[in-house]
């Protein structure tokens, strides 16, 4: 819906960092800002209003420089926009007030766009994840684990889902007692179970130890029951935080599992920093990638952001979790509240261990389960519809996770059914508020706002055009565990996301039709594909590991002599 007074096209100058000042027309709807330059070919900007993080006035009534009067717009998707306007006629005031109102609807008592959208799709994406079906796929419940509905009305924990998997030996009353000793009542619950060795990934929040070193016999016994479920000699507890941060949390009533209280457990700190450190790291990264990349000091500038260093620590932690579970030992994962770093670690480890999550629909289930249903605070971390751009709760935790997934797809190019485009589209709609998928902080708030009945799921759109998100190099390997190399030498900056607004970078993108053309020889020779696949399975047991995927890729694309 076009908005007055900017419903009709208006003249404006876009100060493009790559092409200079461009005259054109701007249209503003209740969903997007759309600019088209007068040039041929036109430069086009298409910006969902909810992607805007800040709108500021540039210059004043006394400004005399060319194009010095207008608006600065900071976006959440790694770009900044600057528009110059005429000083007469209150043209800036009108567009500023319009953008400020509709980019931050929550701050003005308005609904997010997802609640106004009338999009229709054949498939209802809200049905992609059904908890009981997913647990059954994993072989649950069984004689060691049960599904409990104790949280059906969100009375045990208001940030957990209604259906939880807990040890068979633990009664609902046991769960209530354990909840009193875990931050936000986020008790240890099962995320994933290994079908063969029955080792599990359990997630929770920190114990409420405090400065006095409080103990809770129910919590200690509960973790021991988890350990006993598959006969693990020692339960490994992965605390995502740096040791010093975990100790500091004692001052606010939190803490960690001490050796004296949890004698059958081993505590490992993973040294992943908090939301404030990650927010600052992304800010530094944005400074060096937009609008221009400084070639002369690129490597030192990138290193100074510490972004890839944080990616390395998250991936390294997930690898440790996956390796421990694969070897038959159960693990517990937590950070402070169990909705940021915990979600990163559990979902990445599950992606490494379970090939189902590496399929297009399986990945959707993973996000719905580990991030959305278990209460990652999307509203707080992204700031949907909120004008307070300096909010200290904001942090790129989910972006960091998607970056880690991208790193894995680079190292294992045939292991994932979905492609890079899916990851970019997910991030774009993390901010856009076009769909209900990433709105609100937890399931209880979504239910209170009738999200499923009043908004459209992102997966409805994705699955309506699934072929656009499929990796043409994908090869089914159901039992394969992926161990990416979490070394600075093997990690890369995700150029096609962080620097995609630079037109010189965009020209380097290879289109899907071109890729399919390159893969035509593979489709014409299925017996050769089968032979190479068999050979790769044999060789992958040797010292070469995932590099064989690259050998297959090289052959299929004809990049050989």
Positions marked active-site: 335
Say how far apart CA 182 and CA 94 lie, in whole Å.
50
Q: Is 335 annotated as a binding residue?
A: yes
CB-count exposure of residue 515 (10 Å: 0-12, 13-18, 19+): middle
CB 310 within 8 A of CB 184: no
Scanning the structure block, which residue is given the tokens 């999307």? Answer: 378
Q: Is 275 annotated as a binding residue?
A: yes
100 CA to centre of own chain: 27
CB 334 within 8 A of CB 195: no
Q: Distance of CA 207 to CAs 79, 179, 191, 273, 334, Å? A: 40, 9, 19, 19, 9
Q: Is 337 annotated as a binding residue?
A: yes
Q: Is 460 annotated as a binding residue?
A: no
Q: Is 91 annotated as a binding residue?
A: no
Local structure of residue 118 (DSSP, 8 states):
-
Q: Is 336 annotated as a binding residue?
A: yes
24 CB neighbour count, 10 Å cutoff: 20
Tokens of residue 452, six digits: 């499923």
Q: Distance of CA 174 to CAs 68, 169, 237, Å? A: 65, 9, 20
Residues 6 or more apart whose CB falls under 8 angstroms from that of 128 comprise 361, 364, 365, 368, 457, 459, 463
Tokens of residue 155, six digits: 């009375």
CB 178 within 8 A of CB 219: yes
Q: Is 339 annotated as a binding residue?
A: yes
Tokens of residue 308, six digits: 């890839």
The binding site consists of: 274-275, 335-341
The binding site for substrate consists of: 274-275, 335-341
């Amino acid at each position: 819906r076009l908005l007055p007074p900017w419903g009709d096209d208006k003249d404006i100058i876009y100060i493009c960092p790559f092409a200079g000042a461009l005259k054109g027309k701007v249209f503003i709807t209740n969903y997007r800002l759309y600019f088209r330059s007068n040039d041929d070919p036109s430069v086009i900007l298409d910006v969902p209003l909810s992607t805007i993080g800040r709108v500021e006035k540039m210059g004043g009534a006394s400004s005399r420089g060319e194009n010095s009067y207008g608006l600065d717009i900071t976006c959440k998707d790694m770009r900044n926009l600057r528009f110059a306007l005429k000083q007469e006629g209150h043209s800036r005031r009108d567009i500023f007030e319009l953008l400020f109102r509709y980019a931050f609807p929550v701050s003005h008592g308005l609904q997010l766009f997802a609640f106004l959208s009338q999009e229709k799709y054949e498939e209802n994406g809200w049905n992609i994840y059904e908890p009981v079906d997913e647990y059954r796929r994993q072989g649950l419940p069984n004689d060691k684990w049960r599904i409990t509905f104790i949280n059906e009305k969100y009375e045990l924990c208001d940030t957990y889902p209604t259906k939880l998997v807990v040890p068979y030996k633990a009664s609902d009353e046991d769960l209530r007692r354990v909840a009193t000793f875990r931050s936000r009542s986020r008790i240890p619950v099962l995320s994933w179970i290994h079908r063969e060795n029955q080792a599990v990934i359990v997630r929770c929040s920190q114990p409420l130890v405090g400065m006095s070193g409080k103990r809770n016999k129910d919590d200690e016994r509960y973790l021991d029951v988890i350990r006993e479920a598959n006969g693990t000699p020692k339960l490994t507890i992965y605390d995502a935080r740096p040791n010093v941060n975990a100790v500091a949390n004692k001052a606010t009533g939190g803490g960690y599992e001490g050796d004296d209280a949890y004698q059958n457990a081993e505590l490992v700190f993973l040294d992943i920093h908090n939301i404030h450190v990650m927010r600052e790291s992304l800010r530094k990264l944005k400074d060096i990638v937009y609008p221009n990349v400084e070639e002369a000091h690129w490597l030192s500038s990138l290193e100074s952001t510490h972004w890839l260093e944080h990616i390395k620590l998250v991936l390294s932690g997930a690898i440790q979790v996956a390796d421990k579970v694969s070897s038959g030992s159960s693990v517990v994962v937590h950070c402070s509240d169990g909705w940021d770093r915990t979600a990163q670690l559990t979902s990445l480890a599950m992606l490494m261990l379970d090939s189902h999550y590496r399929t297009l629909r399986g990945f959707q289930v993973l996000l719905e389960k580990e991030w959305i249903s278990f209460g990652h605070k999307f509203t707080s971390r992204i700031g949907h519809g909120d004008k307070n751009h300096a909010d200290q709760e904001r942090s790129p935790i989910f972006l960091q996770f998607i970056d880690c997934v991208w790193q894995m797809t680079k190292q294992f190019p045939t292991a994932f059914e979905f492609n890079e485009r899916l990851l970019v589209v997910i991030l774009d709609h993390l901010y856009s508020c076009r769909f209900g998928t990433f709105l609100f902080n937890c399931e209880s708030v979504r239910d209170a706002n009738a999200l499923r009945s009043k908004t459209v799921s992102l997966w409805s759109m994705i699955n309506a055009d699934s072929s656009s998100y499929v990796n043409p190099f994908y090869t089914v390997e159901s039992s394969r565990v992926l161990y990416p190399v979490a070394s600075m030498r093997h990690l890369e900056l995700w150029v096609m996301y962080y620097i995609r607004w630079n037109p010189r970078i965009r020209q380097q993108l290879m289109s899907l039709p071109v890729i399919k053309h390159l893969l035509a020889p593979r489709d014409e020779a299925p017996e050769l594909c089968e032979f190479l696949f068999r050979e790769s399975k044999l060789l992958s047991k040797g010292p070469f590991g995932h590099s064989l995927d690259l050998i297959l890729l090289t052959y299929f694309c004809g990049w050989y002599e």
